[in-house]
Amino acid sequence: MENVDIEKIYNENFILVYKFLICLTHNKEISEDLTQETFYRAIMNIDKFNGNCKMSVWLCEIAKNLWLNELKRRKKIVFTDLDTIEIYNQYSIDEEVENKKQIEELNKKISILDKEVQKVVYLKIYGGMTFKEIGCILGKSEVWARVNFYRAKQKIKEVGNDV
């Protein structure tokens, strides 16, 4: 690729890659480190980007591979739970404890879903991504992401307090 504007690529894709990694790792610090490593690797291998997909999809693929490598390095595949989500608002201790309980309950309900559907839910809820972005990242269509998110919501409602 000639005349690549690395700064523009970084500015346009940083948030998306970071949110994607947050959804995978559930850990702010790891996500920050992996996001930086993702852009480093992208810069070092920009000549391998052939334009067959969007730049954001290529970057998320690099990020996913870095995360998988990190898991292998640690020799365990354990995703952290939602306790690692930081609550930035000024809640009282009671409100914060109640909020964490609600997040844990939601996480339990999400965990019964298929792995692909879990990814859709995490990317939408915790990553704040659009269905189009989710579809792109997962190699599916926007409609597929939208339908699976809707079905996941229905399944979670059906499960209710059974989990």
pLDDT in tens, 38-48: 999 998 988 88
Class for domain 90-162, per CATH?
mainly alpha
Check for a shared fold between 6-74 and 90-162. Answer: no
According to CATH, what is the number of the domain 6-74? 1.10.1740
Q: What is the pLDDT of residues 12-43, one digit of tens each?
A: 999 989 988 887 787 888 999 999 999 999 98
pLDDT of res. 82:
36
pLDDT of res. 36:
94
CA separation for the pair 97, 18 (Å, rounded):
26
What are the structural domain ranges in the chain? Answer: 6-74, 90-162
- Dihedral of alpha carbons 65, 71, 77, 83, sign: negative
Half-sphere exposure of residue 100, counting CA atoms within 13 Å on the CB side? Answer: 14
- Dihedral of alpha carbons 85, 115, 42, 75, sign: positive
- Contact of 37 with 83, CB cutoff 8 Å: no
Q: What is the pLDDT of residues 101-115, one digit of tens each?
A: 777 777 788 888 888
Burial of 37 (0-12, 13-18, 19+ CB in 10 A): middle
